[in-house]
Structure formats: structure tokens, C-alpha cells
A and B are shown apart, each in its own frame.
Chain A
Amino acid sequence: MLNELLRVEQLASGYHRVPVLNDVSFHVREGEMVAVIGPNGAGKTTLLKTISGLLQPTSGRIFFNGQEISGQPPHTISRLGIAHVPEGGRLFPNMSVMENLLMGAYGNREVLKTGILDELFELFPRLKERRHQLARTLSGGERQMLAIARGMASRPRLLMLDEPSLGLAPVLVDTIYDRLRVLRERGLTILLVEQSVHHALSLADRGYVLENGRIVLEGACAELSRNSHIRQHYLGL
């Protein structure tokens, strides 16, 4: 049995006493890719924000690599090795592509000496061409690539992605997922949150279904793809 990298226990969270998540428990093992799927408004973004420390849990506990991280501020959590690529990318629009990547390594600058930028440029050649451009001049697909690359720049142990397919044309979604496949094959541990269920289930190992702030289903992705509830409500089959 592989080591559990992330463990979430009976988590409850929300905004200004508006509860969103309720009794959410799940885990991600080292080297695994786990998808959390669910409809708009289910609480997927809230879940990632609570893990990365942008939101404080109202109850429950979060462990990363055996250490409790719930209640810590986001800059501390990111330094422990969790990279959160937020919904919509959330780049630094008035900084160049290169500066965005450098900022990605802000909490762990020593990794810049390990050739991480060259690796990222190899993975996303488009970003190398555009490295001197301001992030706000990039196209939608390039922005998402930069957001993922910025998340990777600190060599995280866990990469959390919030809807990398959001607002992108189908060919671009395929390109992004092709890159995620490469990261996955290199052994990176990934927690992916998606509405694009077809893409998520075809790439991840295991999945959880989040509805109205609760986990209603879980299992291996192959199993979930055969589940009648999922086929009917998420895959439209």
C-alpha cells in the first residue's frame, strides 16, 4: 500500500458562516491521480481552497504527508509542497510569463537551480516563445498552461488543479489533458477537480463525486464510468 500523501477527515467549510462542505473525507496516495467531479456549485472550488489554506475549515482535519495542515495560512501550506492551480488560472496579469514562473517558485527558490524552468519550457514550448510577454496578453489556452507551469515551478509533491478545462475550446482541452498525462506518467501526485467528467475520468486513477457539499460516490475511475448515475447525469449517455 502506497503512502497517503493527503488525507481529509470529516471536513466542513464555507464562507462567512454559509456552510458549503459537509463531512467530506477522502485521501490521495503518493503517485496517484485523483479526480473530484461534481456539478457547478457542488463545492469543488471550496474544497481546494480549504486544503490550500485560503479558507479555514469550520471542522474536520487535513493531513499532508502525515502532518496536520488545517488552520495554517496558504503561504505556509504551499511551502510544504502543495501547489494549488486556482480556477481560472489567476495569473499575475501585469507580470511577464517568466516572472509568473519565477513567482511560482517563490516559496522554494532553491529549485530554480535544478533546471526546473528548462523542464517547464520543454513541457510547454509556447511559454518559452512568450516568456517576455505580459501574462495578460496571453490567449486562454496559454494562460491555463502558464497557470499549470507556475504551479509546477516549485516542484510540488501534490498538484491540485481546479477545472483546467474551464472556458477552453475542445482542442485546447485535449492539449491541456495531454500535458497532464505527461505529468502523471512522471509520477506526480495530482488532485484534479473537474466538471468535464469525461476528461477527468479517462485520465485519473480514482474519483470522488461531490454533490451539494457531500461525497456521494467514490471508486476507481473505470468503475465510476460504468455507474448508471454517472452515465446519466454526468456523461449524458
Chain B
Amino acid sequence: MTDTLLQNLINGALTGCIYALIALGLSLIFGVMNVVNFAHGDFVMLSMYLTFWIGLWAGVDAVFTPLLTFPALFLIGLLAYYALINRTLRQRYVTQIAVTVGLMTFLRALTQLIWKAQPRALPYSLIQGNIQIGPYTILASRLVSAAASVLAILGVYFFLSRTWAGRAIRAASDDLDAASLVGVPYRQTYALAFGLGSALTAIAGGLLMTFQQVDPTMGVRFGLLSWCVLAMAGLGSIPGLLISGIIVGAAEAVGMSLWDPRARSLIVYLLFILVLWLRPRGLFGRK
């Protein structure tokens, strides 16, 4: 009994590292331009489908597809920013929400149209096999995905702290007027943050496809998951995001095994509500 529990805990924690990566993309978008992007989870789904498609037609392994899908999602993010978000920045909040909910619905309809409603999975992955640690079996692809997610998160951390573009993103998120006054063009900075935030879902999508399937309803789940992780972490702490991702992933997996696998999203939702209720600013967020 405790063995199964721990086994689930480990699996969940590893998947949680990917959730943290997804939530990092969302936090770049929300933290910088205060846009509540309802379509973020559907970018993950789109990335997974693209990974599936590239794997099927070009035979590129899911581990390597981010090399192609990262720039693709970056461009799609830029397009979404300039075509939609940029025009709603000075509008009422409801308008912004309507626009991102619209984008979410559009992406879902599009994937259903192209790939139908059946779940799709890649027949193979370069990363095969299991790793046995005592009584616990860890899927190698899960472990590699978790490690790759942590590396990607570190990469974003270095980008934000060591490059001019990264510092401009942080400055704009701290104080937009002050950033404009030192020469930061805010629309370009927003576009970069939106593009990068979306492109991170490409890495997550590729990694997820190494061990699971995709279907068009997944966007909702990833959207909810990433909001839950972000709410728990609060804004401004990258280590906090990673820890929160791991907690959410582990809670989801343990909850599913103790309660009911169908309660998956319900567990995440309850956790989300609990966090908002007890710690509205998150566990690690700045004031």
C-alpha cells in the first residue's frame, strides 16, 4: 500500500516538473502584461499535436521536436500577441478574457478538425525502459522529461537575469512606466514575453509526448494545472514555481490513486481553490 503510494508520488513529482515549466510560461505572460491567458493550456495541447505530427511524418523523436516546435510556438505566440492581445491592452478586462477564451476555443476546434477527437500517441520514443530503485520503478522517459524541464527552467532563469532582453522583461513587470522611461519599448517587450511564454509549452509538449497521449480536451486540464501551480507559487519566484509544480503533480497522482483516476482535474481544482483561500499570494510570491 505505502509502496504504491510512494510510487505514485514519485511519478507525480516528476510530471510536476513539466507542469512547472508550463506554469513558468504562463507566469511570464501574466506577470509582465497582466493578461489572463486562457489559451495557455491549449498551446500545450497544440505543441503535443505538432510533436505527434512531426513524429509521424518526419520521424523526428519527441525529445528533439522542441528544436522545431519551440521556434514555431514562439512565432504563433508573437502572432497571437500582435493580432489579439496588443489590441486589447487598453480595453476592459472582460474584453481581454473574451479574446483569450476565444483563442482557446479556436485552437480546440482547429485540433479537432485536423486530428479528430481520438487520442493520439507516438508509437516509440528514443528513451526506453525503466529505472529500478528499490521497490520503485521509474519510467526513464519521465525521469528524462523532468530533468529536461528543470534545465529549461534554469535556462529561462539565466535569460531573465543575465541578458538585456530578460532584464527588460523583469523591469517591465516591476514597473512599466519606469521601464519605458529608461528606454524599454513596452510593446516589443510584451511580444517577447508572450512569444517566450508560448514557446515554453513546445518543450513541455514534446516531453509529455515521450510518455503519454494527447487529445483535444487536454488544453483545459493544462490550463487549470498551470493556473494552480502559479497561484501556489505566487509571482516572481522561479524556485517557488518548481516546488509548486512538484507539489501539484504529486497531489494529482496521489489523489488519483487514493480516490479515483477520473477525479484528476477535480483534485487540481480543489487544490487551486484551497490555495486561493488560504494563501491568495501564493507560498513563495513577493508581496
Contacts and interface: CB of A to CB of B under 8 A. Distances in A.
Q: Which of the listed residues B174, B178, B184 has the most CB atoms from chain A within 10 Å of its own CB? A: B178
Interface string A56-77: 0000000000000000011100
A86 B174 contact: no
A107 B183 contact: yes
Nearest to A147: B178
Interface of B: 164, 167-168, 170-171, 174-175, 177-186, 236, 286
Contact of A95 (B170, B180, B183): B170
Contact of A78 (B164, B168, B183): B183
Given A86-B178, A94-B286, A103-B171, 9 more contacts: A75-B185, A79-B183, A86-B181, A90-B177, A90-B181, A92-B171, A102-B167, A104-B182, A106-B167
Given A92-B174, A95-B174, A75 B236 contact: no
Interface in A79-110: 79, 83-84, 86, 90-95, 99, 102-109
B177 A92 contact: no
Nearest to A134: B286
Contact of B182 (A53, A93, A107): A107
A106 B164 contact: yes
Nearest to B237: A94
Q: How large is the interface on A (under 10, 10 to 19, 20 to 34, 35 or more residues)?
A: 20 to 34
A74 B181 contact: yes
A73 B180 contact: yes
Given A75-B183, A78-B183, A79-B183, A106 B168 contact: yes
A173 interface: no
Q: Which of the listed residues A84, A93, A94, A150 has the most CB atoms from chain B within 10 Å of its own CB? A: A94
Contacts of B171: 92, 95, 103, 106
Contact of A75 (B167, B174, B180, B286): B180
B175 A154 contact: no
B167 A103 contact: yes
B171 to A, nearest CB: 5
A109 B167 CA distance: 13
Contacts of A54: 177, 180-181
